[in-house]
């Protein structure tokens, strides 16, 4: 069985940054890219808030730059998805979807989190062309335009508030007839003149020629008072939560109530020595490319220290 000093699972900003640092520390890292090489950023048309790109950069180009940098220092990047792990004792056993197994002295988990979508075909049709799951990432493109946010919790209200500072109008589409958000967030949203809350509503379609230009909404679906209408919008933001890609590790690691891997004392360390978690899979709060990259750096440094202590 192949023995690896530093195995990195996932290939987003956290995984590639961890690889850069681990490779420069002569840990000979191996990266398994997972189902979505490059991570969530590859679905983003333009990234304008990653330092070092003053004119912005496409998500694909940014991830290719990070990948090239990791390879430059000798990272072995492989296509494959981890299907099972055994963290009962070191070296840790990791099984890949091609049936192979490897042993790893250290493991950095950077499998990310997947935004939850409504499941509409139109969400895929307009991906990167008006549909987004990150207001902080993409809100800048909708200055003085009309946008919609779907969701009724704190995240949805926070995104609606953030977008109200940029857009001319924000529709907050709420499935229930009330907001689930904390009272302070409810008060802020309901008292914001730029935000119109559509209670009891579901979006069942998007329209537009090449990009989002409108949404189809149903209010009180399935009742005698059902009403269908459309609203013109330029951007459509999902804020109904994220699902961390951590299921394969759940047997061995502590997860919080939302499924994010729990780490120790503000570090990437998990409760298992030599196993680290970086990026969105362990970050329910920020979920930004730059914070993911920073945590990948930390994880690689911790992995190097762990190996040195051994």
Provide the annotated active-site residues: 134, 137-138
How far apart are the C-alpha atoms of 230 and 203, rounded to whole Å?
9
CA 100 remoteness from chain centre: 28
Residue 152: name the closest of 195, 95, 215 by CA. 195
Structure tokens at 102: 């490897």
φ/ψ (deg, to 5) at 23: -65, -40
Residues in the chain: 310
Residue 181, preceding bond cis, omega within 30 degrees? no
How far apart are the C-alpha atoms of 143 and 21, rounded to whole Å?
37
Facing residues of 31 across strands? 8, 77
What is the Cβ-side half-sphere exposure of residue 306, based on CA atoms within 13 angstroms? 25
First-residue to last-residue Cα distance in the chain: 21
């Amino acid at each position: 069985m192949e023995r690896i000093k530093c195995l990195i699972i996932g290939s987003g900003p956290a995984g590639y940054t961890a690889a850069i640092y681990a490779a420069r520390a002569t840990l000979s890292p191996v990266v398994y890219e997972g189902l979505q090489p490059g991570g969530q950023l590859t679905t983003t048309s333009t990234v304008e808030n990653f330092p070092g790109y003053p004119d912005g950069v496409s998500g694909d180009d940014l991830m290719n730059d990070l990948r090239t940098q990791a390879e430059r220092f000798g990272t072995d990047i492989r296509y494959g998805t981890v299907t099972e792990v055994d963290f009962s004792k070191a070296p840790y056993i990791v099984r890949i979807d091609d049936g192979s197994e490897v042993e790893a002295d250290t493991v950095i988990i950077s499998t990310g989190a997947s935004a939850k979508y409504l499941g509409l075909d139109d969400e895929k049709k307009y991906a990167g062309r008006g549909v987004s799951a990150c207001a902080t990432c993409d809100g800048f493109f909708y200055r003085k335009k009309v946008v919609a946010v779907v969701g009724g919790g704190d995240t949805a209200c926070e995104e609606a508030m953030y977008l109200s500072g940029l857009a001319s109008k924000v529709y907050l589409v709420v499935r229930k007839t009330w907001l689930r958000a904390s009272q302070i967030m409810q008060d802020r949203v309901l008292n914001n003149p730029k935000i119109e809350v559509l209670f009891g509503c579901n979006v069942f379609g998007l329209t537009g020629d090449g990009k989002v230009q409108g949404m189809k909404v149903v209010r009180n679906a399935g009742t005698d008072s059902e009403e269908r209408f459309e609203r013109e919008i330029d951007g459509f933001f999902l804020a109904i939560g994220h699902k961390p890609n951590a299921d394969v590790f759940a047997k061995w690691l502590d997860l919080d109530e939302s499924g994010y891997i729990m780490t120790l004392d503000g570090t990437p360390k998990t409760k298992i020595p030599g196993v680290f978690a970086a990026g969105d899979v362990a970050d329910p709060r920020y979920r930004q490319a730059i914070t993911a990259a920073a945590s990948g750096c930390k994880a690689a440094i911790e992995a190097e220290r762990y190996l040195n202590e051994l």
